[in-house]
Structure 1
């Protein structure tokens, strides 16, 4: 029996950074094999997969029938969640990873708005990015949380360093979400080149997962912005050194 082809690329990060828009754009092309739904959450599954002997059949089953097209998916927690990248490297050492990054302050704010609108987060933003960070040290795995990680998911320099320790640089593509939004055609050209695809006309511009309307109890204040800029300053320098991408200081 011939083994199914491996997944050859992932949109691996970051949450609230434009990954849905990129996944939707790529789905408009006909020369990529993508699952019907975004965010498969296979490599961050700590309970349903025996990682000493993983069964990749369940993962492969959600993709279209094998053909010549590159297979890929988008699960933005992979760059953040412990062991996900190591599991990906063990699965396919030659895999290509795309990381779409958004200004970490705006990312944190958008993340909080999403969780508040979903009814998951009852606390105001100012508390969440200050005292609320202590919640992550009462969870398992220690220091991580799927919903309340507003600040922690924005340490892109740390994530880039981890990626570069596991994969050759030529297998990594770091993008800014604002470039995808403002210059979609050029950014998609870069993605297609990175994936070894021929140039193609860009699909129509789109906005995906626009923030939900809700009666939010918080505004993003200058004090909140300054607080987060201080937190991210050193990590932002690390990101710039590793990738050349810099967000507002």
Structure 2
């Protein structure tokens, strides 16, 4: 029974879905269409289901295919690296990163729209910094952007040579080049990369005026209720996309991530200077 040869381990809201969808087009690769969430138990984790449950996700792989899976929350949950190494000691790990400030903002609004986040962005960050969300891996907007410490945790169990690093910017601007590198890393036909084209997804998300109201309605009445339909009509902003981030908050976040970003560059060799270049002028 096949087990993954590679795992897309992170990171959340950084382009892992687009990366995964394009990987699935390669005839020599097999991955389940959905995230598996196996190696942890908290939140939506399914580690308690046991190894046979995990193995069944790869039953449809054909002989000779390179097998993988994608669960970007693996990067964030501390216990995953050791558990993954125990079961998949030879696995290749794929990482994709995004400007952590923009990633945090996107992650926040993603949870707001699902009704999981009742607080403002500023309040959510304050709570996280105060240690009020230590066990909340799904709403860890700040900590999920500390990429270097996540990579270093995996380096306790896996070698740097077993890891592939890229950025959302590469995925958008040079998809064929990126997938050529990735296919070589995975040991499959790299010429298939010429068929990959960057797909610019246009968001049609209409964010709520009140995250708290969205949270209350969805948590109490559900997504198919009349209350939900009324809430969506009255509480949704008319234009799609996310509201602009407050400049003071944005500057604070770029300052917060400056040192971790530099450490990520030292570890991975990734060119992430454009993240610093996006900082506001003081």
- TM-score interval, smaller chain: 0.7 to 0.9
Instruction: Determine which structure has the larger helix proportion and give its number.
Output: 2
Query: Aligned partners of 2:253, 2:110: CA distance in 1, in Å?
Result: 18
- Cα deviations by residue, 1:154-209 (Å, 9 ceiling, x for unpaired): 00111121122221111001111110011111111111011011121333432459
User: 2:182 aligned with 1:187, yes or no?
Assistant: no
CA contact (8 A) 2:61 2:67 kept: no
CA contact (8 A) 2:101 2:250 kept: yes
Q: 1:24 to 1:210 in 2, by over 3 A?
A: farther
Q: Could you tell me which of 118, 131, 137 is aligned with 1:146?
A: 137
Kindly state the Cα deviation for residue 215 of structure 1 after the two structures are TM-superposed: 3.1
Query: Aligned partners of 1:164, 1:72: CA distance in 2, in Å?
Result: 20
**C-alpha RMSD of the superposition:** 2.1
Query: Aligned partners of 1:30, 1:57: CA distance in 2, in Å?
Result: 26
CA contact (8 A) 1:43 1:78 kept: yes
User: 2:89 aligned with 1:93, yes or no?
Assistant: yes
1:173 maps to what in 2? 164
TM-score (norm 1): 0.87
Structure 2's unaligned 5+ residue stretches are 211-242, 277-282
2:57 maps to what in 1? 62
Return the structure number with greater relative CO, CA threshold 8 A, min gap 6.
Answer: 1
Q: Could you tell me which of 47, 55, 69 is aligned with 1:49?
A: 47
TM-score (norm 2): 0.78
1:80 maps to what in 2? 76
Number of residue equivalences: 237
Structure 1's unaligned 5+ residue stretches are none
